[in-house]
Structure 1
């Protein structure tokens, strides 16, 4: 019960690779989300006009 199964938030030291992977995944996720939202909104608004 002392340590969580998979999450190392706060308790464990974060390695450089983990930080890089997390930042890269966050950047890719935000870019993908933005592109998807822009595409969906663009198609919806574009089809209405």
Structure 2
């Protein structure tokens, strides 16, 4: 499923931000969101 095909995004939460260096100054996320300036050598917990 592509993001554009979702009818209801309720319940979705941002968990990880990759390429934070490119974010807009007005884009604010919670402190508990993992973020990386560039592509990390990281995998989510299973």
So what's the TM-score if we normalise by structure 2? 0.25
More strand per residue: 2
Structure of greater Rg: 1
More helix per residue: 1
